[in-house]
Amino acid sequence: MPDASLRRRRFAGAATQLGTEVSINFGSSLAGLVIPVVGSFVVVAARQIVMVAAVLPFYRPKRAELTSARLWPALALGVVLAVMNLTFYESVHLLGLGIAATIEFLGPLAIALLTSRRPLDVVCALAAGAGVVLLIAPGASDASAIDPWGVALALTAAAAWAGYIVLTRRVAIGLPGLEGLTVASIVSLALLLPFAIATFDAGVIDWRIVGLLAGVGVLSSALPYSLDTYILRRISPRLYAIITSFGPVIAAIFGWLVLGETFTLTEAIAIGVVCGAAGTAIATQRERPKSDLEQTAEGMA
């Protein structure tokens, strides 16, 4: 495939990824409005119901194809989706969207740093860690203290996000179309639904809550997760992570606009340090040259 065509594909993938960052964080801000009313299990289950409804009509798994050897990455992705979404939303409830999103971002940053041995990456990792410590340190927040359970949940979401990136890339390459995403969505919903039913309170549901839940599902799951398989066929995990480094800033903006969150100067500096360290570390990585076979496969995706 000509270089110009490859550049167009990569630009399309990068632009789409930036759009999904806006979509996800706007959806997360809507989730912040509804979690205090219905709880995290119900919100995440609603997300997955919307997701399954969006992708299942385009792919219905055939029984003969449902073998563990073929589908294990999609099955694992379903577990990771359930853990990532649940722990992140609960951390948003306890910490606020801006702080939770910044801590969670350590996951994709780790993807960029784990295979590197450069001194610059060590400096960036230390800077990102210092930024998070500054963010959660006593006195950094308007609140009297940062909830330690919220921090633990955000770190769990970070680890799950790292797994999500790796597994989504594998699913996108190994399974056609939305096949892997459909299986992962069904697995995630099956894990979450019993807990959502147990905590569901029909008395608090009205059309406003239903609209918010549907909006969260579309903006935070159906749209971005469906596009991730498209994106990761066109750009590398490194470029995906570079664009994702803007996520905490976008989350802070929506936390301010939708949830009325305010940030101290220390918090703003800490968020900036984490994003700056991440962007520097990821942008300066060198990708391994692709073989002719890999380039051909990329062009056929």
Task: State which residues form the domain around 135.
Answer: 3-300
d(CA 82, CA 48) in angstroms, rounded, equals 9
Structural domains counted in the chain: 1
Highest average pLDDT, of 36-45, 49-58, 109-118, 236-245, comes from: 36-45
Percent of the chain with pLDDT over 70: 80
Task: Give the predicted TM-score (pTM) of the model.
Answer: 0.80
Label residues 34-70 b or e (16+ Cβ within 10 Å = b): bbebbbbbbbbbbbbbbbbebbeeebeeeeeeeeeee
- 55-84 tens-digit pLDDT: 777 666 666 555 666 678 888 999 999 999
Contact 13, 234 (CB under 8 A): yes
- Are 176 and 67 a contacting pair, CB within 8 Å? no
